[in-house]
Every structure is written in C-alpha cells, then in structure tokens.
Structure 1
C-alpha cells in the first residue's frame, strides 16, 4: 500500500486492452479511495500483462494477499546498453547503465523539445536493445507537463524509433504521484525503460526521492529516465542519486541530399556521471537503427553537403501540443 502522503488518486493508466473507463459523472461521484484503488489496480494489471502474468493466466495476481506483491529479495541486474557513439560509450564505461536512474534536462527554454527528443531516443535505444521478443517502456506525465509540453503523438514516436505498441502511457495528477507511479513501474522486470516527465520538481524530487527510484530500478532492471519539463532546467543544481545527468541543447541537423532537414541532432553535456567521465558531445540520432552517432566522426566520413540523410527526418514530431 502507498504511504499515507501518497494515498491519493494517481491518475489514469491508459488501458492496454481498451477496457472502458467510468463516465465523468460516475468518476465525480466515486469515493476518492475507490478511485485510488481502481487506478492502482489498473496499473498493476498493465504491468502484470507486460510480464505475461496477468490474472487468470496462473500469474501472481491470484497469489497476492490483499492485492499486494509478495516481498522480493533486492537484486541488482545491472548491465549496459551501447548507445552507438564510440566516444560517448567509452565515457559511460561501455554504455548507458541499466537498472539506474538518469536525468535529462534542457539547456534553455528553447531546448525543451530537444531534451524530450533525446529522452525518447534513449528509451528507443533501451527498448531496441531488448530485442523483438521483449522490452517495453512506460512514459509517465504529470498534469503540468502534459499542459506545457502537450500529449504524446503516436506517429511521431514511431518515426523517432519508439514503437507506440510497446509503450504504456500513465497520466498522474501531480509530481508526487508521478514519482510514485515511476517507482512501481521500475520494479516491473519486463520493462526496458521508464520515463517520468515532471513539470515542477521543486519540493518533491530530492535526494531521498531519487534514492527510492534508484532502489526500484535496481530491483526491476529497467533504466529510469527523469525528464525535467521546465524552462532553463539545466541551470538548476540539486542533489540526487542519479547515475547521470544530461543537459541537452538543440543544434542544426545535417542536410539531406535535397537540402531537407536531416536526422535530429543535439549538443549534449554529460554534466554528471557517478564514477566516470564527463564531457560534451555533438550527436545525431538514427531512428531507423536506434543508435546515436557523433557528428564530428560523421563529418570526417563524408561532407555534410553530400549527406544521404541517414536515419532520415522524422515524418512527425513525437509531441503534439494542445490547442
């Protein structure tokens, strides 16, 4: 059961099988505790379905006492996923660490889209590394982030390399409940990545909160990616237990053969790396193969003017702003 200060409606987990949601009138009349239990049960069912252990299939649902998971021994599944850019992978000690927490922030207000694109690229890479037979991602948004950044756009995500069919969207009403949902999702061993997008971190996300996410990630094995959805987030310093902190800025992409915009490109500062090297990298995303490449190396291989548009420009943006 969630701690008392978290015992509130945690929002709506979008049903994976199209189950009906209560009408607005019924939702208003529903007891708050009943809404909480319904939302928690929906999240448990979705996570259990990802693990192939849904109710009625001999899974753990029938063996829980009071609907709670039995205690599991703490474990650290570890491992790394190569991102594709040799210098970056070398700085990371062989790739991005699984079972850890990573923070992604924008350099300035104009770089918010770039930060989200980079976070989506990390998620796509983590899911792709799991192979076709396994691996999924959960994207958690609080209401402030959803209002400021808009909702996720399926065709844009697909063209960015993140298959919407392997993505579960969870909407939380505030940052505290978004962090709680992320903690539960990180314990699911079927997931490759858990992204949590929060509009206002102040007063909610601190060293203790980040440690809870780290412990959950070590138990489940997924990589947690915390996206700060606020202007100038990169300029704010705060303590956390995250393994890495990335400050992302947009940069011009290389033109394709016809002069069209090329693949997404960023200037990424690895501003924090526990026990490893830091640095600044100019990167390009190849959504077809779900890998990052260093722009300097690509420029040495062939001039930008004669680029072949490797990875191609995305047909649609991953986010669609609300009117």
Structure 2
C-alpha cells in the first residue's frame, strides 16, 4: 500500500514538473531502444531538449539526429517550426530521416535578440507538433519562460545551441551531446554509409544519464555493438523499432 502511494505521489510530482507519463494520450515511440530506459517512466519527456554544438561537424550531426527524432515523435501530418538565424540545413535532405519538408515551416531571422521571443510564441501554439530553435545563448530566465510555454501547450522544444559563447544552465528536461562517428555501410557496398552518432544524455530530469552509440537505418534507430574490426557491427533494438 505504501509503495502504491509513493508511486502515485512521484507521478503527480513529475507531472507538475512538466514530465507527463503520456504524450497526447499515448507514449511517444521514439524507437531509441536502450536510451528510453534513461527517461522517467521510460517515455520520451515533453519539455526543452537542449543540444549543444561547437563545430560544423557536431552541428551537422545534431541537425541529423534531431530530424530523426522529430520523425519518430511527431504525427505523420504534424507541422513543425524550425527557427534560426543562418539556416545551413538543406530541407529536401529531411526525407532521408523520414520527415516531409512540406511539414516544416522555416523561419529565418537575422536578429539573434528576437529568437527567444519567437521560440516562446511558437511553443504556445498547441497545433504544432514540435518547435526547433537554433540559438547560441539564452539565460535561465528566458529558458524558464520557454519551459512554461511547453508545459501549457505540451509541444516539445528542440533547442540547438550552436557555438554558445559560454556554458550556462538552462531549464531543460534533457541535455544531449551528439558526436559523429564512423558511418555504417552495407556489407559489400562501397561509399558513405548510414549516419551514426555517439549519443550522450548529460542531464535527464528525474532520469538516468548515460552514453550510447546509435545509427539511422533508413526509417528507425539501431544500436551499435562494439566490434574489433575497423568497421562497425550493429544489432536491432527491438521488433517494434525495426517494424
């Protein structure tokens, strides 16, 4: 009886902190396999997901990983906003990660000072599936306003902090570190293979941080297994991930 009461109270506290058990009445199926166990309830949390990149290589890796995640957590016809100052993304390439470019609205603003306000207003729109904000720096107060907007609308925010001037703490539910690793190629085929990443959850509110190696297999994530060969071997995450 006490265990049930404690479990119920814990869920209520997490819900008040903006970490709901369900997303739109159901668990968001990210297909992230072992990473899912790091989240509270084992479900992808709704909130601000912070990504930081300090080079062109890591920025490209973050963009690809975010696109893959978006394709898993958004509805098939869902509309997303992608807000930034200097867009380097090639929209047609999003098809590779399962995203329809016609469902992404890109907003390019040359005034960095306006980005935080624009992202906040976008997050207040419940009709959106997600908001991606590319912004270098923001303070704790600004991030709290974004988190409050997320808690009201239940719209996920992927905040890509590109080349931040300094490391700072923000009100995020997760802080991700995405690094590129050798791509995964099809056996016997030449050329560049599928994108792969070293995925680190440096912070997970009420969860368990950790590090994993993943790759994108056309429609879903796969988990990389260590190999003694120069190439990389892989293993399926689950039947649902490869369906």
TM bracket (short chain): 0.7 to 0.9
Task: Report the TM-score, using the length of structure 1 for normalisation.
Answer: 0.59
Change (3 A) 1:296 1:188: same
Asked if 1:228 corresponds to 2:158, the answer is no
Q: Deviations over 1:218-251 (max 9, x none)?
A: 1111100010122xx5x95311110001111100
Aligned with 1:265 (options 192, 196, 199): 196
Asked if 1:168 corresponds to 2:111, the answer is no
Counterpart CA distance in 1 for 2:218 and 2:160 is 20
1:251 match: secondary structure: strand
Aligned with 2:133 (options 189, 196, 214): 196
Higher share of residues assigned strand: 2
Number of paired residues?
210
1:5-154 aligned within 5 A: 78=20, 79=22, 80-93=27-40, 94-98=42-46, 100-106=47-53, 108-127=55-74, 130=75, 132=76, 134-142=77-85, 145-146=86-87, 150=88, 152-154=89-91
Aligned with 2:181 (options 248, 251, 256): 251
Q: Deviations over 1:119-173 (max 9, x none)?
A: 222222222xx2x3x422110012xx33xxx2x3222111222111111111122
Q: Which residue of structure 2 aligns with residue 210 of structure 1?
A: 143
Flag structure 2 segments of 5+ consecutive residues without an equivalent.
1-15, 236-243
Query: Is 2:81–2:107's contact at 8 Å kept on the other side of the alignment?
Result: yes
Cα drift, residue 287 of structure 1: 3.7
Counterpart CA distance in 2 for 1:188 and 1:90 is 30
Q: Deviations over 1:43-87 (max 9, x none)?
A: xxxxxxxxxxxxxxxxxxxxxxxxxxxxxxx9x694352321321
Counterpart CA distance in 2 for 1:293 and 1:125 is 13
Q: Which residue of structure 2 aligns with residue 279 of structure 1?
A: 210
Q: Which residue of structure 1 aligns with residue 13 of structure 2?
A: none
Find the structure with the greater CA-based Rg.
Answer: 1
Runs of 4+ with deviation above 4 angstroms: 303-307
1:81 match: secondary structure: coil
Flag structure 1 segments of 5+ consecutive residues without an equivalent.
1-73, 308-323
Task: Report the TM-score, using the length of structure 2 for normalisation.
Answer: 0.77
